[in-house]
Structure 1
Amino acid sequence: MKKLKNEAQLVKKAMQVGESYAQKRGYAAFSAETSANLKVESLYRLLVQDKLVVALPPDKEDLPGMKHKLAIWIDRMLPDDHPLKAAS
């Protein structure tokens, strides 16, 4: 798994966009007490269920892998002129 140059910023953006997507799909908003790791896992599983992200193999399913998948997803969603795209 090759890490993207600005993966941390892409994951942050993916979490923002993913939360909005989840709410539009009818899921309740995350509470303020929800950990970032739980948000990452929940958004990853939702995107896999909706076939927007290819699932990791079960034996390789871990938090860094899920974050990487979210970063790849948002990188593909962003327009070409977005500042996060230019850095990758």
Structure 2
Amino acid sequence: MSALLEKERITARISSAVADVLNSAAELTGTTLNGFVVQAALEKAQKIVDREKRITISRDDAAMLLNLLDNPPQPNEAMQRGFKRFMEEKYGGRKD
């Protein structure tokens, strides 16, 4: 049993100079203009999505974060009050 594939359509108005370059690139890669444009757009979109999902930090920052996870500081008064307020709001003051 084959699954039905939903297909979307996109259109773009481009200059003849851009069309010539895209057609040339499609021919050089042995694909259709449509296939080339879709693949190129997909590669670019994936790079953008990957870049935006990734958080890059320095080695020093990573070491500091790992140290804080391994050796968390004791909560100060403000943090203790905030935690108490959170527990009361979320759980209505229950202790379970």
- TM norm structure 1: 0.28
Structure number with the bigger relative contact order (C-alpha 8 A, sep ≥ 6) is 1
- Mark the structure with the bigger radius of gyration: 2
- TM norm structure 2: 0.26
